């Protein structure tokens, strides 16, 4: 049995404290669910499940809240997952598994995140809240994400100039896509936002003056914390066959663990596994969407997996848009669905704890 993506939508991605600062997860995601169903011409009653990635929220099964807020049937229980940045893609892979197993025919899958409304968290007895949760059981081998990116840059010899150049190019591509109106078909208007709020004219001179975060990692070559939601509609072959419009086959997908304290390289093995499983090579890809949590991580993954940079993030990446953690993988899938009109396309992302996920779609 095959699984297909027949619709993919997202909100704009807005920096923390921006246009979405007062919106709950369900206020972000429910309009996207409605847009998916409208695009596919399906009624809410057709949905069997909602699988939602969320990292920073207070819990309480946000997938269920989104399902109810979107007017889906009460029988849709909702499944919430947390695999850090990889969760948005993993939700889609779980939806694919459900469809292929015959457990569902129509699944809404993706992620939603609000940095603006993240609750304050602290360990018992601690004087201050913590910003990052532990990602390994070994405090001496659990660096912060920026520190891990800086260490990767040193180990691979990827200097600040290369990282800044990647960031400048990401913003330039994103601005060009915005000006051409290429994103109009994928963004659902929420709180009046129809463009990603962080994209700007980043010049080499501005990048050179950006504050240092850790080592060669700066505020210019690291993605900004953001709010947003991104979801796709995963359906069976039977449903795809009777719905008008595009249907992209999910040709493969895998999540693999790697070195826990070096998360930036984790997608390389996942990309290799998913391409081999589909009988394809990196050169066969028409395009790829690779997460840009840090420029060094994107460069390392593209080079490590043998991807053609000229086919990667053609409309800009997270450095130019922002990083709504639990939704970021799903943003990649939405961008891929919007732009893939021939052949095969890849979405890949790294996650804290040394996790990498890759998804392959075929037009």
Q: How confident is the model at residue 98 (pLDDT cuts 50, 70, 90)?
A: very high
Chain segment 206-229, per-residue pLDDT in tens? 999 999 999 999 999 999 999 999
167 inside domain: no
Q: What is the pTM of this model?
A: 0.96
299 inside domain: yes
Q: How confident is the model at residue 199 (pLDDT cuts 50, 70, 90)?
A: very high
Terminal alpha carbon distance of the chain: 17
**pLDDT value of position 147:** 96
**pLDDT value of position 128:** 82
Burial class of 96 by CB neighbour count within 10 A (0 to 12, 13 to 18, 19+) = buried
Active site residue 323: yes
282 inside domain: yes
Set 85, 94, 95, 213: catalytic member: 85
Domain residues for 263? 3-119+224-362
- Per the structure, how many domains does the chain have? 1
101 inside domain: yes
189 inside domain: no
154 inside domain: no
Say yes or no to pLDDT of 125 above 90.
no
Say yes or no to pLDDT of 194 above 90.
yes
Q: How confident is the model at residue 105 (pLDDT cuts 50, 70, 90)?
A: very high
216 inside domain: no
54 inside domain: yes
Set 83, 321, 323, 335: catalytic member: 323
CATH (domain of 101): 3.40.47.10
Active site residue 171: no
Chain segment 25-79, per-residue pLDDT in tens? 999 999 999 999 999 999 999 999 999 999 999 999 999 999 999 999 999 999 9
Q: How confident is the model at residue 131 (pLDDT cuts 50, 70, 90)?
A: confident
Cβ within 8 Å of residue 112, ≥6 positions away: 25, 28, 29, 52, 53, 54, 62, 66, 228, 229, 230, 231, 324, 326, 327
Q: Cβ(4)–Cβ(240) under 8 Å?
A: yes
């Amino acid at each position: 049995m095959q699984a297909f993506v027949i619709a993919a939508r997202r909100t704009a991605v807005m920096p923390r404290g921006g246009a979405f600062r007062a919106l709950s997860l369900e206020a972000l995601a429910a309009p996207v669910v409605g847009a998916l169903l409208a695009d596919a011409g399906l009624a809410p009653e057709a949905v069997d499940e909602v699988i939602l990635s969320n990292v920073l929220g207070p819990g309480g099964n946000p997938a269920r809240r989104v399902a109810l807020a979107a007017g889906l049937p009460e029988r849709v229980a909702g499944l919430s997952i947390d695999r850090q940045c990889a969760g948005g893609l993993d939700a889609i892979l779980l939806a694919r598994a459900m469809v292929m197993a015959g457990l569902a025919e129509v699944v809404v899958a993706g992620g939603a995140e609000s940095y603006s409304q993240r609750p304050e968290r602290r360990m018992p007895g601690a004087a201050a809240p913590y910003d990052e949760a532990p990602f390994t059981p070994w405090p001496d081998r659990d660096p912060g994400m920026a520190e891990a990116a800086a260490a990767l840059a040193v180990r691979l010899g990827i200097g600040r100039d290369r990282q800044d150049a990647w960031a400048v190019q990401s913003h330039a591509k994103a601005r060009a896509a915005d000006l051409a109106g290429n994103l109009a078909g994928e963004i659902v208007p929420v709180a009046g936002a129809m463009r990603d709020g962080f994209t700007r004219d980043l010049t080499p001179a501005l990048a050179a003056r950006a504050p240092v975060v850790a080592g060669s990692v700066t505020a210019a070559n690291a993605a900004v914390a953001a709010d947003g939601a991104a979801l796709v509609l995963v359906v069976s072959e039977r449903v795809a066959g009777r719905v008008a419009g595009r249907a992209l086959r999910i040709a493969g997908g895998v999540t693999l663990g790697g070195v826990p304290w070096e998360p930036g390289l984790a997608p390389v093995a996942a990309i290799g596994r998913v391409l081999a499983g589909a009988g394809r090579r990196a050169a066969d890809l028409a395009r790829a969407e690779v997460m840009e949590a840090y420029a060094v991580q994107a460069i390392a993954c593209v080079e490590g997996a043998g991807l053609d940079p000229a086919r990667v993030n053609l409309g800009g990446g997270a450095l130019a848009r922002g990083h709504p953690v639990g939704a970021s993988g799903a943003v990649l899938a939405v961008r891929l669905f919007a732009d893939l009109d021939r052949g095969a396309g890849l979405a890949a992302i790294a996650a804290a704890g040394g996790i990498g996920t890759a998804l392959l779609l075929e037009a």
